[in-house]
């Protein structure tokens, strides 16, 4: 009789991208309990969690909102988000007690002295009330996303008060060291300053979130301002009410905003806990992380070109100096032998040394052009401003291609010789010092010629054709080739991504697992397939894990690639990313040592399996370090 086919050892469990991302935000919330973190660092994670949840309802929920709203799966997402919000509220109250031990107090108005109340009454009248909108209920469908509102009335809902975004949510109490009071609590205290004819009525807190998407996904620079103006017209996806909000008013808001009951959260005030970042910023240094010792590559910043003529340089930020990237751009601007500079810029912030170096280079007469991504979500306005600054200085801002440019590349041509920086992170001076990322500096001709071809093709509004580097769907091809080559009992694969959701890559991993390969997955945020018997590791620590790396054992001769792309259909099919090989033997060993340390991490890890996620803390193996 023919034998029955052997059952696969690894059976997949599918998870929606949205559910996986909420699980990630649960891990962020869990960081508030880290016994090895200082108090203010644990509090910082509460603020990060709050900002993340806003991003979830403004952007990450959009697919499920459009396609699955009302299903049991969608309602489960809402249940998990509400559970996290309720947990965060309880944690906030616990933090208030712990902060009191440091001499930091978030006071209620009833705890203020008479003189303090008089001061804040004057502050509200002079600084807040003139900027505050009082809105009639007829305008509920037009309410703004993420603003903090109060509702009031006698019997029926009559007045809506929108607090100004320009006024801090948390205010210091003058003369009382460590004393703070919430703006919302003060407004409640003096509702007569905000309601018509000086009425003094109870106020009830609420806020809503709208889906935030550009009206035109292919907007070019001249269309971008109009597209940004239309962005906040998105549908409301979420409503938060304080727990004592009058039921009749709550129903009025829900119906007017077109929400289902399970999309309305009743939670304990204060709403929007992101304001705790103010306490973190102003709290004592003794309750924050001590600064790390940052290693600087010897001799590189003074003369990067001579250095790279001898050997490649690979850095691991933030443990090794992100300033080396800025120094590379600065030397390109100052060196009279430099003829041309090219850069991809995605999230660069309001102040940026690399961008200033590009302006300096253009003013010095060099040929400078940038692929500045005007559609970087939530950074569009900042990048629009930079486009004007670049144009005014003579930097050519290249047309936006049909796909977003998310690659990280800086190209310099000096006296006919080419040099490049390729990275896994953004050219952002803040993120560069807070995110773990790899930077490769090289003068290797096969890499530099491909980077030039990449810029040239996009300037000519053509799809890049590269010989060694990978962009677009060819990154998927690279991953599939590498995985399939390891699909045997001696095979070994290490993948490190923020997001792993590409169906073809996940299917190839399952086949490799069932053929006996060792598979190590280090996934920070979202993964849409998990297998019983395989432990997927997620690192959440002091620094945001951001590097994207793929390593294949290749019969003992490891092949290692890194780049800007997560393994998601969006990144591989609808963006121009860059994945680059680590060719230098010393650099390759360094990347592998870091990956292998993270595979063994038992201090910052969560182990993800189909049955849930388990904390792996308190051990001696710290994967968030160098060496």
**Which residues are known to be catalytic?**
406
Q: Which residue has the tokens 């490190």?
A: 496
Whole-angstrom distance, CA of residue 56 vs CA of residue 53: 5
Distance of alpha carbon 219 from its chain centroid, rounded?
Answer: 23
The tokens describing 392, both together, are 């005014």
What distance, in Å, lies between the first and last C-alpha atoms of the chain? 57
C-alpha torsion angle, residues 590, 595, 599, 603 (rounded to 10): 80
Residue among 121, 11, 40 nearest 534 (CA): 11
Name the phi and psi angles at 312, rounded to 5.
-75, 160
Share in percent of the chain as helix, strand, coil (round to 5)? 40, 25, 35
Q: Are 53 and 570 in contact (CB under 8 A)?
A: no
Please state whether beta strands 367-372 and 236-242 pair in parallel, antiparallel, or not at all (unpaired).
Answer: unpaired
C-alpha torsion angle, residues 477, 402, 387, 333 (rounded to 10): 40
- CA atoms 320, 338, 429, 453: torsion sign: negative
The tokens describing 26, both together, are 């649960």
CA distances from 292 to 36, 221, 288, 543, 559 (A): 16, 40, 12, 11, 31
Q: Are 616 and 598 in contact (CB under 8 A)?
A: no
The tokens describing 322, both together, are 């992100």
Q: Is the peptide bond before 192 cis (omega within 30 degrees of 0)?
A: no
Residue among 521, 522, 513 nearest 491 (CA): 513
Residues 6+ apart with CB under 8 A from 272: 50, 54, 146, 148, 169, 207, 240
User: For residue 46, is it left (φ>0), alpha (ψ between -120 and 50) or beta?
Assistant: alpha
Whole-angstrom distance, CA of residue 63 vs CA of residue 610: 23
The tokens describing 149, both together, are 């509102």
Give the up-direction half-sphere exposure of residue 139: CA atoms within 13 A in the CB hemisphere.
Answer: 14
Rounded to 5°, angle at Cα 379 from 183 and 453: 165
Helical H segments across 152-293, by residue range: 183-189, 224-229, 247-257, 277-282
The one-character DSSP state at 591 is H
Name the phi and psi angles at 536, rounded to 5.
-90, 135
For the chain, the residue count is: 627
Distance of alpha carbon 429 from its chain centroid, rounded?
Answer: 15
């Amino acid at each position: 009789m023919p034998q029955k086919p052997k059952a696969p050892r690894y059976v997949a469990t599918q998870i929606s991208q949205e559910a996986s991302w909420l699980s990630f935000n649960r891990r962020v919330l869990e960081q508030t309990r880290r016994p090895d973190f200082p108090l203010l660092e644990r509090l910082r994670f509460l603020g990060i969690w709050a900002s993340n949840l806003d991003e979830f309802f403004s952007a990450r929920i959009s697919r499920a909102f459009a396609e699955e709203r009302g299903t049991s799966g969608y309602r489960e997402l809402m249940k998990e988000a509400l559970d996290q919000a309720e947990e965060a509220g309880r944690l906030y109250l616990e933090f208030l007690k712990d902060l009191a031990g440091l001499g930091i107090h978030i006071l209620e108005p009833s705890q203020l002295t008479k003189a303090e109340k008089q001061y804040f009454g004057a502050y509200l009248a002079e600084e807040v009330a003139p900027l505050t909108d009082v809105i009639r209920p007829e305008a509920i469908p037009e309410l703004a996303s993420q603003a903090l509102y109060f509702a009031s009335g006698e019997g029926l809902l009559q007045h809506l008060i929108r607090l100004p975004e320009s006024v801090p949510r948390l205010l210091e109490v003058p003369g009382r060291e460590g004393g703070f009071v919430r703006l919302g609590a003060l407004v409640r205290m003096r509702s007569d300053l905000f309601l018509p004819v000086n009425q003094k009525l109870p106020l009830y807190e609420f806020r809503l979130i709208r889906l935030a998407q550009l009206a035109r996904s292919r907007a070019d620079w001249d269309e971008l301002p109009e597209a940004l103006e239309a962005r906040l017209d998105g549908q409301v996806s979420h409503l938060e009410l304080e727990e004592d909000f009058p039921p009749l008013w709550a129903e009025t808001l829900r119906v007017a905003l077109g929400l289902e009951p399970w999309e309305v959260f009743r939670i304990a005030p204060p709403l929007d806990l992101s304001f705790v970042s103010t306490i973190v910023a102003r709290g004592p240094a003794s309750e924050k992380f001590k600064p790390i010792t940052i290693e600087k590559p010897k001799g590189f910043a003074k003369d990067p070109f001579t250095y790279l003529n001898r050997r490649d340089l690979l850095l691991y930020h933030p443990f090794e100096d992100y300033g080396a990237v800025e120094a590379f751009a600065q030397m390109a601007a100052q060196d009279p032998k430099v003829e041309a500079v090219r850069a991809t810029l995605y999230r660069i912030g309001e102040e940026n040394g690399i961008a200033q170096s590009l302006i300096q280079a253009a003013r010095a007469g060099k040929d400078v052009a940038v692929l500045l991504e005007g559609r970087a979500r939530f950074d569009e306005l900042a990048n629009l401003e930079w486009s004007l600054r670049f144009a005014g200085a003579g930097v050519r801002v290249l047309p936006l291609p049909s796909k977003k440019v998310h690659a990280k590349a800086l190209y310099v041509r000096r006296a006919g010789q080419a040099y490049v920086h390729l990275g896994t992170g953004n050219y952002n001076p803040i993120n560069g010092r807070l995110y773990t990322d790899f930077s490769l500096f090289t003068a290797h001709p096969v890499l530099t010629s491909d980077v030039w071809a990449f810029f040239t093709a996009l300037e000519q509004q053509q799809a890049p054709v590269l010989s060694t580097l990978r962009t677009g769907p060819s990154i998927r091809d690279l991953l599939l080739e590498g995985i399939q080559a390891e699909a045997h009992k001696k095979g070994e694969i290490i993948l490190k991504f923020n997001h792993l959701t590409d169906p073809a890559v996940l299917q190839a991993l399952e086949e490799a697992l069932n053929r006996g390969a060792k598979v190590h997955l280090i996934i920070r945020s979202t993964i849409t397939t998990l297998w019983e018997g395989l432990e997927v590791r997620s690192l959440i620590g002091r620094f945001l894990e951001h590097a994207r790396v793929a390593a294949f054992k290749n019969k003992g001769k490891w092949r290692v690639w890194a780049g800007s792309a997560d393994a998601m259909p969006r990144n591989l099919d609808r963006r121009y990313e860059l994945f680059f090989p680590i060719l230098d033997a010393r650099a390759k060993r360094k990347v592998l040592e870091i990956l292998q340390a993270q595979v063994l991490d038992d201090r910052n890890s969560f182990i993800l399996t189909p049955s849930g996620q388990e904390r792996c803390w308190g051990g001696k193996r710290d994967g968030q370090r160098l060496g």
